[in-house]
Amino acid sequence: MNKCFVNFRSSYRQSHTAREPVVQACCDHHGSGQEICYLCHQREQRNVYMPFTEEKARRDKEEDLLLRKYSEMKNTEHLLQEKEKKALLKRELHDMQKSNFEVAEMKHARKKERDVNFMQSYLFHHRPETPPLFTKMLPYSKELQKQIELKNLASLREQEKENFESQAEQINLATSLTKQREDYFKERSRKMNLYKTILDKQVHEKTLSQQQSCGIEEEENIREGEGAGYFGKNDVTAELLAEKKRKANEVMKEQFKMMAQRKREEILKRMKEQREEEKILRKNRTDLLNDRAMKCQLNYELYKDLESDWKHRAMLKQQNLQKAKEKAQQLDMLLQDQCNRYHRCQQCKRCLWNRGSGNIWADTYFIPGSRYFI
């Protein structure tokens, strides 16, 4: 198919060369006088005979034959397609006609059928008309309003009952609390009076025992003599009391110092723990900020990549659209008009800047008048 189409293009170009003049372009060599390549120009200068007429006639004949075969093939293909379309349309019409006939037969048979089911409802021509609905809507609305009022009244009574029970319960609770408080104070005052009487009794007994002991000691001292001393006379003096007071003050100061030292140590320990907690929180905050910054950076890079990819694809799309537009514009032109933009040699049909280069080996041998290379 592609070969036939290429041959068709070449034959179309050759058949339309006489209709429109080919644009003549200057060759890149001097003294040519026509649009031929350098190799053909050198052959013409050296009078090398190149029989292109017979080759061209034979090629034209082959191209015409291929074009005829291609046109016949396309015509037969078109005829086959038309036949297939007609057969398909005929088959569809036949199926439609058959379905319509079946539907008509079913309707006709249904009309002829006798209904064996009895009627469940009848029309009475002499029956009075049904009264309108609004005649009974008023008593219905009154009954509904009465039910709503009764329901609201019952709910109100229930709420009042609940409030009364809650108030009674609160009053009972308050009375029980006041009674318990009074009993507590009574018991407390009774115990205080009891403790007071016991303490008074103990103090009275102690004073009596001290008086008795003092009387006994005095009697013993009197018996021993006036000049003789007694045991413990100088135990409680002003100097001893001052010394005891000083020692007690020193002990109290030491205790205060120890308490202050403990408080200071606790405060320092707490401050150290707070510093460690602040350090951990600061580290967590920096880690969180770094993670958030990293996520933002990744999102930004992804956005940039997507943007660049979108720009690249948009540019490719614009280029493809431009190429398609140019191709569509070129397809509107004739084949000969498109080929006129590309200048070729009139003899060998190669480019004008051809100087003998090709894909043929250097040791090939060409026989003039033949179609083969040896």
Asked if residue 67 is part of any domain, the answer here is yes
Answer with the residue of higher pLDDT: 372 or 147: 147
Amino acid at 170: Q
Asked if residue 95 is part of any domain, the answer here is yes
Asked if residue 93 is part of any domain, the answer here is yes
pLDDT band, residue 7 (cuts 50/70/90) = very low
Amino acid at 255: Q
pLDDT score recorded for residue 1: 44
pLDDT score recorded for residue 147: 92
Asked if residue 86 is part of any domain, the answer here is yes
Note whether 10 and 60 are within 8 A (CB).
no
Asked if residue 103 is part of any domain, the answer here is yes
- Find the domain containing 83 and state its range: 52-112
Answer with the residue of higher pLDDT: 62 or 219: 62
Q: Classify residue 245 as exposed, middle or buried by CB count within 10 Å of its CB (0-12, 13-18, 19+).
A: exposed
State the average pLDDT over residues 91-98.
92
pLDDT band, residue 236 (cuts 50/70/90) = low
Res. 85: pLDDT tops 90: yes
Res. 356: pLDDT tops 80: no
- Structure token digits, residue 100: 């319509």
Note whether 63 and 3 are within 8 A (CB).
no
Listed in sequence order, the residues at least 6 apart from 32 whose beta carbon sits closer than 8 Å to its beta carbon are: 41
Asked if residue 284 is part of any domain, the answer here is no
What is the residue whose two structure tokens read 């006379």? 233
Question: Distance between CA 339 and CA 330 in Å, rounded?
Answer: 11
Answer with the residue of higher pLDDT: 348 or 85: 85
Q: Identify which of 154, 134, 135 has the alpha carbon closest to the alpha carbon of residue 146.
A: 154
- Structure token digits, residue 14: 């050759």
pLDDT band, residue 301 (cuts 50/70/90) = very high
Question: Which helix (H) or strand (E) is 170 found in, with range?
Answer: helix 134-224
Asked if residue 90 is part of any domain, the answer here is yes
Average pLDDT across the chain, whole number: 77
Tally of domains in the chain: 1
Listed in sequence order, the residues at least 6 apart from 16 whose beta carbon sits closer than 8 Å to its beta carbon are: 334, 335, 336
Helix and strand counts by DSSP (H, E) for the chain: 6, 0
Indicate the DSSP class of residue 298.
H
Note whether 348 and 37 are within 8 A (CB).
yes
pTM above threshold 0.75: no
pLDDT score recorded for residue 366: 59
Q: Identify which of 152, 156, 154, 153 has the alpha carbon closest to the alpha carbon of residue 164.
A: 156
- For 114, the 3-state DSSP assignment is coil
pLDDT score recorded for residue 373: 54
Note whether 27 and 36 are within 8 A (CB).
yes
pLDDT score recorded for residue 226: 47
Res. 78: pLDDT tops 70: yes
Asked if residue 87 is part of any domain, the answer here is yes
Per-residue buried b or exposed e for 174-205, using 16+ beta carbons within 10 Å of the residue's own CB: eeeeeeeeeeeeeeeeeeeeeeeeeeeeeeee
State the average pLDDT over residues 354-364.
63
How confident is the model over 156-211, as pLDDT tens digits?
999 998 888 888 888 888 888 888 888 888 888 888 888 888 888 877 777 777 76
Note whether 363 and 355 are within 8 A (CB).
no
